[in-house]
């Protein structure tokens, strides 16, 4: 069954409507649990896409494969340990994407083995497959330790404070350079291998579904192995 270009972009847009809010709400939830209510007060502790979307960033995500959302505000002074509070809040976004990717892979495998084959299940399976792909890509990309990506905030626990905040002064320029490198394909190879690594780990983590499906097949067919 062929996927038209319009349908392909529609699926990407629908996945972005889920993946981006999960990422940003993950930041907001972690900050709130760690003692900073700033993002919650601003309405960011929500899965409502309109609470998080930047229009240009979302369009870039759908049509160019890389984009951005409105940053989640935090106040480090509200954390008991500001350095760890910022790092854990940053970590929560990519982790939320990994969790969502795992759940999508579980549903995708369940559909693969047990759902009837028709046009509706075909598109739903494609949606779930792309849900895994986009969430893995978001998580891996955001773990890159350069500002303003989440990985740079995690660096705060490892770098001397003076060096870290000196680096943050140039985060806009570094981000422009990072986006240019992505659009020019300079990061395609390392991101490809990292995405595949995370995909394989998720596949191993959902391997029990494969075992259940194979066991059910052997029971139904009377096959002995």
Residues with catalytic function: 24
Residue 186 DSSP code:
T
69 pairs with which residues across the strands?
53
Distance, in Å, from the CA atom of 149 to the CA atom of 206, rounded to the nearest integer, reads 29
- Residue 53, SS3 per DSSP: strand
Q: 16, 23 in Cβ contact below 8 A? A: no
Q: Could you give the CA distance from residue 48 to residue 205 in angstroms, rounded to a whole number?
A: 29
């Amino acid at each position: 069954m062929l996927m038209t270009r319009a349908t392909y972009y529609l699926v990407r847009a629908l996945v972005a409507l889920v993946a981006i809010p999960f990422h940003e709400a993950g930041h907001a939830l972690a900050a709130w649990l760690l003692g900073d209510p700033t993002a919650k007060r601003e309405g960011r502790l929500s899965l409502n896409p309109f609470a998080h979307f930047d229009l240009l960033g979302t369009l870039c995500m759908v049509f160019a494969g890389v984009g951005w959302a409105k940053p989640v505000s935090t106040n480090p002074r509200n954390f008991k340990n500001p350095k760890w509070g910022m790092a854990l809040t940053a970590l929560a976004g990519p982790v939320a994407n990994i969790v969502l990717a795992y759940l999508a892979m579980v549903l995708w495998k369940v559909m693969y083995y047990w759902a009837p084959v028709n046009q509706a299940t075909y598109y739903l399976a494609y949606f779930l497959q792309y849900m895994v792909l986009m969430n893995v890509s978001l998580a891996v990309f955001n773990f890159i330790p350069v500002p303003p990506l989440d990985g740079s905030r995690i660096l705060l626990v490892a770098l001397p404070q003076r060096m870290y905040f000196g680096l943050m002064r140039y985060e806009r320029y570094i981000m422009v350079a990072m986006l240019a490198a992505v659009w020019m394909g300079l990061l395609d190879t390392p991101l490809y291998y990292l995405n595949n690594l995370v995909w394989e780990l998720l596949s191993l983590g959902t391997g029990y579904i494969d075992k259940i499906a194979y066991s059910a097949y052997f029971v139904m067919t009377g096959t002995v192995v």
